[in-house]
Amino acid sequence: MATIHKFVTTGLLALVAAVALALPSSADAAQRTSAKKKAHSASSASSRATKQALLRSGRRVSSRQLATVVRFEPARPSFGQLYGLQNTADALNLKSSVALVLDSETNEVLFSKNSEAILPIASLTKLMTAVVVTEAKLPLAEMLSVSQDDVDTEKGSRSRLKVGTQLSREEMLHLALMSSENRAAHALGRAYPGGLEAFVAAMNSKARELGMNDTHYVEPTGLSSKNQSSARDLATLVKAAHEHQIIRELSTSPEYQVEVGNRPMQFRNTNGLVRNPQWEIGLQKTGYITEAGRCLVMQAKLAGRQLIMVFLDSAGKYSRIGDAERVRRWINEAPVAPAPTVVGLPKLTS
């Protein structure tokens, strides 16, 4: 028995030793994990650089080719996700982290969700771009050219307006508001008296004039995540922009055709609700970058009231539109005027 016990014990010790030799040490595992993270980070940076280089080259690149370049990039959270704002529950089950609904004539707040959080606002920026251009009373018929300076090197976003395209200031404004054309918006800022720096200063000056104390701009397109605001400030901007007829008309235009070179080019509104007969929209603007999530602001008439709606950091592609529909049903189906609903976390800044 002693011999058998010794044999079994020896066998077990040998097995344990073999397993120990086969398994990596914790230090080796940590080194490999670190190396993988560094390689993944380098691969992501390389993919982004390659994608931007392809887009800037002007060559025709298929969506499959671009997908091959960027398929290994990890999904990045929005600022709202990082702040935990998407965990805020509300009575309407909105998918947007931030929402605000108010009566533009009485300033009565009907619904508020994290409305004081300061977040990137993406192409909602273009509303302020339009206000500054309009109030400067620059000649709308003046021809502007898209230059290499208008090409997006930050996000590598695409544009149908090639370098050298010439359009009138009004056409550029139309495409910036309706189709969220980044090169058009940038060209408008660049063509401002004093150039782009003077234009951005005018944007921030107008924000201060309107009392938008949570708002800051660094460029006219919204591609930079440093363009930030709160829902309350954006409601103020919507109200100010709605005072200008040209902004109302151009932002709600369902589609528009321009001559680019020698051929017509059709553009459509990024907000499909402008084509929905159930909606009476007086002004709208959409926006999206990863850091901001999907965004939407509108001025619309519901149940006989002129309302301003702001939705920020919506996660799904169509969820901001779904949120607008949820608010419309809530307003229209209420037997009496809905009582104010306020939910959210304390004020957050980036």
What are the residue numbers of the active site? 123, 126, 180
Q: What are the tokens at 135?
A: 């109030």
Dist. CA 89–CA 56, nearest whole Å: 42
Amino acid at 232: R
Q: What are the tokens at 320?
A: 């901001």
Assess contact for 200 and 220: CB atoms under 8 A: yes
Residues with Cβ within 8 Å of residue 312, at least 6 apart in sequence: 80, 96, 97, 98, 99, 117, 119, 121, 231, 234, 292, 293, 295
Torsion of CA 301, 306, 312, 316, to 10 degrees: -10
Residues with Cβ within 8 Å of residue 3, at least 6 apart in sequence: none
Q: What are the tokens at 346?
A: 């304390």
**How many angstroms separate the most distant Cα atoms in the chain?**
105
Query: Helices 63-70 & 26-57, crossing angle to 10 degrees?
Result: 150
Q: What are the tokens at 173?
A: 């404004």
3-state secondary structure at position 77: coil
For residue 210, which phi and psi values (nearest 5 degrees)? -80, -5
Dist. CA 126–CA 28, nearest whole Å: 51
Dist. CA 195–CA 246, nearest whole Å: 23
Dist. CA 304–CA 290, nearest whole Å: 36
Assess contact for 319 and 327: CB atoms under 8 A: no
CA atoms in the 13 A half-sphere facing the CB of 255: 8
Q: Tell how far CA 200 is from the center of its chain.
A: 19
